Structure 1
Amino acid sequence: MSFDNICKYLAASYPEPFVRWLLASNATDIQLLPSELSRDPIRADAVIRLQSTNSILHLEFQTLPTSTPPLPLRMLDYWVRLYRQYECPIEQVVIFLQETTNNAAYTNQLSVGNTQHRYRVVRLWEQDAAPLLTNPALLPLAVLARTDSSAALLEQVATQVDMIEEPQQQRNISACVEVLASLRFEPDLIRQYLREELMRESPIYQEIIQEGVQRGKQDTVIRLLTRRIGTVPPQLQAQVQSLSIEQLDELSEALFDFASATDLTAWLQQELMR
């Protein structure tokens, strides 16, 4: 289960609450920008444009503190690409989901020679839950906020979920709450306060399950290709990652006949022509 994907869904579906929470702004004229950035594409978690101030809020969600390349370098890379494309002020915020004492969660800058780059870091386990309980889109993050009583926090979140009137939104938010709650609480405690049937009925939950299966197949196929033909060039890896689950299954069988990257290229070209 990708916890980061839950957060990406929330930021993409409900950008205004994130703007209000992180920028203390009531702006409503916001625009969700493409998260895939140019030049050897990398994908940011969420990129939100505030049109009234011509500025950008860039969000990255981290479950684990380790990152390749290191997070400070990634944040500079994102900033340069975003600024090259939009030429406006950029507020970058890294939100750590799971409590850790790792230095990465307490680092907010890259400093190399004359180069200095800063960004904000939000450690959810240090945050007051109250602001996150006021908006349905932020309820999933509330379960990871500071608390003296796990049961009381889960009960508060469950109460707010039950108050969501629109059924589809309620199912999706409930699914996000339960998935993120699993980062912190035991399953038995979660089941005491949250209704599992809502999560199971959520389309976003099914999409995340499907995406997890697809990513697993992508990783397996690329590992098999590496063993079979050596290092797979980035552009071919990108094409493999764009394949459907059915196509990945077909490639996992066909690759045993490959002798070089040329065979992979030919197979991909043939697949695109189908």
Structure 2
Amino acid sequence: LEGESEVLHIELQTDPTKVMPMRLADYRLRIHRKAPDKTIHQVVIYLRQTNSEQVYQEYFEIAGMYAEYRVIRIWEVPIAQLMQYSGLLPFAALGQTDNPEQVLRDSVQAMSQLPASNQQHEVLGAAYLLSGLVLDQAMIGKIIRRDVMRESVTYQAVLDEGREEGLQLGIKEGRQVGIEEARRSIVINLLREGASIDLIAKASGMSIDEINQLQDSL
């Protein structure tokens, strides 16, 4: 997101990597090159709970260079915050809870009440994939109806991947698709709220053409 004096850059990551600090520093320099007079805020959101020390690192440092960024460990985020916005509902089961099964049930109920059926299908598809980080597929299948899932482009992409390379690999690769679909859902919500296309592109990393296509589909 870009305002008059500030820029917010957000990264979604399933697991930490050693190159993440350098990647954030690289993006910071790119953003600074385009907007040298603006303050830059960077946030990394980690999706899968881990004991890795890397999810606590909030800076990049080499000789003569130091850059900070903020880290959000989604398993520490209160469920109420994730349930507050439709674009965040697919992430709810990953939040701060001892009962992700019940949280998924609650979030699915909230998703089922969204006004547009195609929006319901896609956020449910993203929820199906993302919740696989904390729940087994059998349990998820009991909560999210298969007849609904058949309408989800996200879910169908996973099935196609599974037929070609094996179901488990399809689901694993599909989780990244789920992250992308969740990002797509957030972008759609921003469009509906009247945010500018340039601002959405800078915040989401999607191209202007991709955003225009989403806008045309609304």
| Uncovered stretches (5+) of structure 2, i.e. residues with no partner | 164-218
Count of residue pairs brought into register by the alignment: 163
Paired position in structure 2 for 1:79: 28
Name the CA shift for 1:198/1:57 in 2 (closer, same or farther; >3 Å): farther
The structural deviation recorded for 1:200 is 2.7
Name the CA shift for 1:124/1:83 in 2 (closer, same or farther; >3 Å): same
Specify the code of the residue in structure 2 equivalent to 1:144: L
Specify the code of the residue in structure 2 equivalent to 1:61: L
The structural deviation recorded for 1:210 is 7.2
The structural deviation recorded for 1:211 is 8.9
Specify the code of the residue in structure 1 equivalent to 2:15: L
Corresponding position: 1:178 with 2:132: no
Indicate the SS of the match to 2:83: helix
Moved more, 53-62 or 99-108: 53-62
Deviations 1:106-133 (A, max 9, x none): 1000122332110000001111010110
Paired position in structure 1 for 2:7: 56
Q: What is the TM-score with the length of structure 2 in the denominator?
A: 0.68
Indicate the SS of the match to 1:143: helix
Contact 1:175 1:200 in 2 (8 A): no
Say which of 125, 134, 145 aligns to 2:84: 134
Q: Distance in 1 between matches of 2:154 and 2:9?
A: 22
Please show how residues 199-214 of structure 1 align to structure 2 within 5 Å: 199-206=149-156
Deviations 1:35-62 (A, max 9, x none): xxxxxxxxxxxxx323xx3422211111
Q: Distance in 2 between matches of 1:109 and 1:103?
A: 13
Contact 1:61 1:94 in 2 (8 A): yes
Indicate the SS of the match to 2:50: coil
Specify the code of the residue in structure 1 equivalent to 2:77: Q
Please show how residues 61-72 of structure 1 align to structure 2 within 5 Å: 61-67=12-18, 70-72=19-21
Indicate the SS of the match to 1:134: coil
Q: What is the alpha-carbon root mean square deviation over aligned residues?
A: 2.3
Q: What is the TM-score with the length of structure 1 in the denominator?
A: 0.55
